[in-house]
């Protein structure tokens, strides 16, 4: 029998109503690993862009105290920024505040980073490094940082829940008191597992080391796409999308008329209201390695009086099991029909 979590408990881990609701539905969890696997699937594949933005908005600006109405989340946020506060100087806080303001003005949301164990200077360096990013690239990075924070907090939640459950099983009278006190007033010591998770998050991630047996069963095709219209600040809905694979006589396409007949149709769909494509291929555990192309009929997507030419993005998938080729297209006025070649490694 696993641990059952309430929606408000999970909301403290990631302040997205949709995320917390889906996680509560997925519980009970038999282990922390199972909860983290479910969290990743829900965060990256089930919730929409609005859910991401809701979670982002709940975070305080780095260097500031949390104003979250969720007491547990505010307490965890304070602990996560402890190193930053301890290493801050008046000048570094001032510079960080100025860069935070520049970041928010450019991207429209707070600079998000898993700050646990990071100094003020380290955070400031990362902020400056990420500032030149394109909005769509930074949006993805922020979502990944949010998941790091969520995983760290899930470890804390699990440790707390396990300790409370163990204590209450031994003392039924105490169980009633704990139920009255509620989750927000916990004072249970966090076990070493949190330290292990924190060390893992601070290390560089190596996706190639993840074993296939650890991956969850696929619920979506391995190649998908998500279109965002950054000029409007909204998803690119109603765009016809077509997936093709290169089968021509040459090792790779030449991006010209000589390519005619070399591309083989794999599937097509139309983006939904969230800008996500439907099923472009079968749900399989591994993608056949090769060169793929996604064609976007952006003529069907009007931005006022601005005309957008059809666009295509070509990418290479290596012979790697459980490969997810996620192709994100950013609609801009200058988007043209010229092919680009992206190595999805």
Q: How far apart are CA 20 and CA 56, in angstroms?
A: 14
Q: Which residue has the tokens 């391995």?
A: 222
Computed on alpha carbons and rounded to an integer, the radius of gyration of the chain in Å comes to: 23
1: its two tokens: 């029998």
Decide: 225 and 294 in contact? Cβ < 8 Å.
yes
Question: Is 226 a residue of the active site?
Answer: no
Q: What's CA 230's distance to the chain center, in Å?
A: 18
The DSSP secondary-structure symbol of 285 reads S
Among the listed residues 59, 186, 226, 301, the single catalytic one is 59
252: its two tokens: 């790779």
Q: Which CA distances in Å does 73 have to 15, 22, 222? A: 8, 18, 34
Beta strand pairing call for 234-235 and 311-317: unpaired
Angle at CA of residue 37, ends 36 and 42, nearest 5° = 95
Residue 154: closest CA among 242, 251, 43, 261: 43
Q: How far apart are CA 245 and CA 27, in angstroms?
A: 39
Q: Where are the alpha helices (DSSP H) in the chain?
A: 7-13, 17-26, 32-45, 49-57, 71-80, 82-86, 90-107, 120-130, 135-170, 172-181, 192-202
Q: How far apart are CA 119 and CA 21, in angstroms?
A: 34
The DSSP secondary-structure symbol of 60 reads P
Considering only the C-alpha atoms of the chain, give the largest distance between any 2 of them, rounded to a whole number of Å: 79
Catalytically active residues, by annotation: 59
């Amino acid at each position: 029998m696993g641990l059952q979590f309430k929606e408000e408990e999970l909301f403290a881990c990631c302040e997205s109503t949709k995320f917390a609701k889906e996680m509560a539905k997925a519980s009970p969890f038999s282990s922390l690993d199972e909860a983290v696997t479910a969290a990743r699937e829900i965060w990256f594949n089930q919730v929409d862009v609005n859910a991401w933005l809701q979670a982002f908005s709940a975070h305080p600006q780095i260097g500031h105290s949390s104003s979250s109405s969720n007491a547990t989340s505010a307490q965890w946020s304070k602990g996560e920024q402890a190193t930053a506060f301890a290493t801050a100087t008046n000048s570094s806080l001032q510079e960080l505040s100025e860069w935070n303001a520049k970041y928010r003005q450019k991207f429209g949301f707070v600079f998000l980073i898993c700050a646990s164990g990071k100094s003020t200077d380290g955070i400031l360096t990362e902020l400056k490094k990420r500032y030149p990013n394109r909005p769509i690239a930074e949006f993805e990075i922020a979502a990944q940082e949010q998941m790091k924070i969520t995983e760290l907090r899930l470890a804390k939640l699990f440790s707390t829940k396990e300790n409370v459950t163990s204590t209450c099983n031994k003392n039924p009278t105490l169980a009633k008191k704990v139920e009255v006190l509620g989750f927000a007033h916990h004072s249970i010591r966090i076990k070493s597992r949190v330290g292990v998770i924190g060390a893992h998050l601070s290390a560089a991630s190596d996706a190639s080391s993840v074993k296939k047996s650890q991956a969850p069963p696929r619920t979506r095709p391995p190649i998908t796409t998500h279109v965002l219209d950054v000029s409007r600040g909204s998803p690119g809905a109603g765009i016809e999308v077509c997936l093709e694979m290169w089968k021509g006589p040459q090792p790779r396409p030449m991006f010209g008329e000589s390519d005619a007949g070399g591309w083989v149709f794999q599937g097509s769909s139309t983006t939904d209201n969230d800008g996500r494509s439907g099923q472009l291929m079968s749900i399989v555990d591994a993608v056949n390695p090769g060169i793929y192309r996604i064609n976007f009929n952006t003529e069907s997507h009007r931005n006022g009086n601005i005309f957008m030419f059809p666009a295509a993005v070509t990418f290479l998938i290596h012979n790697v099991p459980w490969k997810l080729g996620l192709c994100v297209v950013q609609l801009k006025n200058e988007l043209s029909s010229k092919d680009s070649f992206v190595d999805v490694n």
